[in-house]
Chains A and B, each alone.
Chain A
């Protein structure tokens, strides 16, 4: 127990949930949910909203558990030093308890509001992010975010299962897009934050395989991502508007990945541009699917 008086307010506990990551989870899960409904699944809007809340809280709980486990790393990285535990606002033990409590509540709530398939998938997502990624892979292999990316890619699958009771191929295509998007996204970040990760002893690709190898791998993943990005059109999940947007943004992604590949060693500009564009890319693809599905409800 930590007997020091705590100066943490509710917003510090909210910060433990990684609100920015949570907002991306809510968005991708919402798109998965709407796609399932457009595919014929029937669900009460109230139950869908509660399911989405449970998925968001589950994601937040994994964030809190990640901050508990990685408090030592967070304390030496410029990007994470302002988090509540390194600042001494929230004791580690409280972050752990908070994360575990929210994990249990979110899974139970999803089971209650939807079904056991979705609840099981959410529990697996939390387990994968905390145990497989944070505790095992993050400090042991430069493939950490490649494999660990599965946790971040699962929310639309969980959401699809929450309203449909199962997760068909289209749900896994959404998973695949986020999964393939993760390596170039994080390696672009790691290229211009290399010193941060090296200082913390996290084996990110640039400080293990080197800058040149990382750039080649970013380009390789970008090619596969650009192809996977148009896959929803092939299965009928996306329409012509989606095809146009995913092709255009896929081409943009490839162009920026090419620039990274050809950039000068230690150059930060091209990786920064790719990192920023990668966020826009994912948003654009999922927003296009959402817009098409919503438009279809009214046509």
Chain B
């Protein structure tokens, strides 16, 4: 994919920031789901034991 020809440096910079925020958001979401899964499983093991 190529950049739109009229994309100003400011617009490119903002797009970079948005992309970074999406990446961090996705990593954060995956990490939270992982954490929740571990906590739930360890809680269930604790309850069973």
Interface residues of A (CB under 8 A from B): 3, 5-10, 13, 44, 46-47, 50, 53, 105, 109, 112-113
Contact = CB atoms under 8 A, between A and B. Distances in A.
Nearest to B15: A6
Nearest to B3: A5
Interface of B: 4, 6-8, 10-11, 14-15, 17-18, 20-21, 29, 32-33, 35-37, 39-40, 43
Contact of B39 (A3, A8, A44, A53): A44
A33 to B, nearest CB: 16
Nearest to B24: A10
Contacts, number: 47
Given A50-B32, A53-B32, A109-B33, A9 B40 contact: no
Contacts of B18: 6, 8-10, 13
The 6 closest A-B pairs by CB, nearest first: A10-B21, A5-B11, A113-B36, A9-B17, A46-B39, A9-B14
B47 to A, nearest CB: 11
A50 B36 contact: yes
A218 B6 CA distance: 54
A13 B21 contact: yes
B48 to A, nearest CB: 16
